[in-house]
Structure 1
Amino acid sequence: MIARAAAALLLLWALGFAWFAIDQPGPAPDAAVTDAIVVVTGGPGRVQRGLDLLAAGRAQRLLVSGADRRVRPLELAEVNHVSPALVVARVDLGHEAVDTRSNADETAGWLARHRFRSVRLVTTDWHMSRACFELRRIVGDRVTILPDAVRSEPGFTALFKEYHKYLLRRVAAPLGW
C-alpha cells in the first residue's frame, strides 16, 4: 500500500514536471491594453519588452520591480533605446524587491498607490507561473493580471529548480510562509 502511494506520488510529480517544462507560457498579444506594465527583473529581454509596450501606448505607466539601486532612468532609456522623456515621465524603478515574493509585494503596493485595475506582468516564460501565483496571492481579484512571457531557452536544470520553487510556494503560501 505504501509503495503504491509512493509510486503514485512519484508519477504525479513527474507528470507535473513534464507539463511544467512543455507548457511554457508565451507573450500576450501586443495589442492588449492594461492600466500598467510591471517588469520583473532578472532575465534578458524583459525590460526591453516592457518599455516597447509602454512606448506603443499599451499602458499608462511601467514599474521595473527589483531594479538595481545604481540604475538611473536616463541610463535605462539609453541602454534600451527608448526616449528619455518616456522613461522619466512614465517609468518607476522599484528598488525594494530581491526575489519573486518581494517583487509581488512591491508590485502590489505600486498598483494600489496608482489605483491600477489591470497589469501586464512581464517576466521570462519559465518564471511566469510562480510570478503570477505570487502576485495573484496578494492582489486577488482587485487587479486583472495579463501574463506576458518573454521567450527563452531554459535548460533542464533551470526548469527543474523553478518547478520545485513553484511547488514549494504552492504548498507554503497557504500555510502562511
Structure 2
Amino acid sequence: MILRLFSFVALLYALGFALFSVTLGEPAREDAPETAAIVVLTGGKGRIEQAVDRLAAGKAERLLIAGADPVVTEADLVERLGGKDELIACCVDLGSESVDTRSNAEEAHRWIEKHGYRELRLVTSDWHMRRAAYEFRREMGDEVDIIFDAVPTRPGLFTLFGEYNKYVLRRIGVLMGV
C-alpha cells in the first residue's frame, strides 16, 4: 500500500514537472491593454530590457524594478541600457526592499498602492512566471488586474527542475499555513 502511494505521488510529481516544462509563461500579446504600471523582477537576462522597452513603447506610465541591488543607481541603468536617461529619470523607480519572489510581490503591492494603480504588467522570465504570478495574485488579490509578460528564454533542465520544486514547495507551504 505504501509503495503504491509513493509510486502515485512520484508519478503525479513527474507529470506535473512535464506539464510545467511545456507550459512556460509567454510574452503578452501585442494587443494586450496598456496598464498604469510595469513591475519587473530582477534576476534574469533580458527582464529589465524588456520592461524598459514596454515602457518606452507606451504600454505603461511607470516602471518599478523590484529587487534591485541597493547599490544600483539610475546612472547604472542608463549605462546598461545605452541611454534612455530621460525615460529612466521620469518614469523608473528602483525597489531594493525585496530579496525573493514573495517579497517582490509585497514590495510591488506597496508601490502600487502608493501610486493608486489598479493594473500592472508583470515582467519576468518565462520559467519564473508561474511562481511570480502565484505570489502576485496571492498578495494583490482581485484589487489589481495583472497582465503577464514573460521574457522568452531557453532554460536548462536544472533551471526548470529548481523552479518547479520552488513552486511546488511554495504551494505546499501555503496549504500548510507556512
Deviation at 1:154, TM superposition (A): 1.1
Contact 1:31 / 1:58 at 8 angstroms: preserved in 2?
no
Counterpart CA distance in 1 for 2:175 and 2:110 is 21
Aligned to 1:29: 29
Aligned to 1:19: 19
Aligned to 1:55: 56
Q: SS of the counterpart of 1:135?
A: helix
Q: SS of the counterpart of 1:68?
A: coil
Amino acid at match of 1:166: Y
**Deviations 1:6-30 (CA, angstroms, capped at 9, x unpaired):** 2211111110000011111111124
1:154 is the counterpart of 2:162? no
Aligned to 1:39: 40
Counterpart CA distance in 1 for 2:85 and 2:173 is 42
TM-score, length basis structure 2:
0.95
Deviation at 1:176, TM superposition (A): 3.2
Aligned to 1:168: 169
Question: Percent of pairs identical after alignment?
Answer: 50
TM-score, length basis structure 1:
0.95
Aligned to 2:103: 102
Q: Which runs of 5+ in 2 are unaligned?
A: none
Contact 1:51 / 1:82 at 8 angstroms: preserved in 2?
no
Q: SS of the counterpart of 1:49?
A: helix
Amino acid at match of 2:35: T
1:78 is the counterpart of 2:79? yes
1:92 is the counterpart of 2:93? yes
Contact 1:74 / 1:88 at 8 angstroms: preserved in 2?
no
Which sits farther off after the overlay, 53-62 or 72-81? 72-81
Q: How many residues align?
A: 177
Counterpart CA distance in 2 for 1:8 and 1:172 is 21
Amino acid at match of 1:26: E
Aligned to 1:6: 6
Counterpart CA distance in 1 for 2:114 and 2:176 is 28
Contact 1:119 / 1:143 at 8 angstroms: preserved in 2?
yes
Q: SS of the counterpart of 1:38?
A: strand
Q: Which runs of 5+ in 1 are unaligned?
A: none
**Deviations 1:130-158 (CA, angstroms, capped at 9, x unpaired):** 11111110100000111111011111111
Structure 1 residues 174 and 35: CA distance shift in structure 2, 3 A? farther
Counterpart CA distance in 1 for 2:108 and 2:177 is 19
Which sits farther off after the overlay, 71-80 or 152-161? 71-80
Q: What CA RMSD, in Å, does the superposition of the two structures yield over aligned residues?
A: 1.2
Amino acid at match of 1:4: R
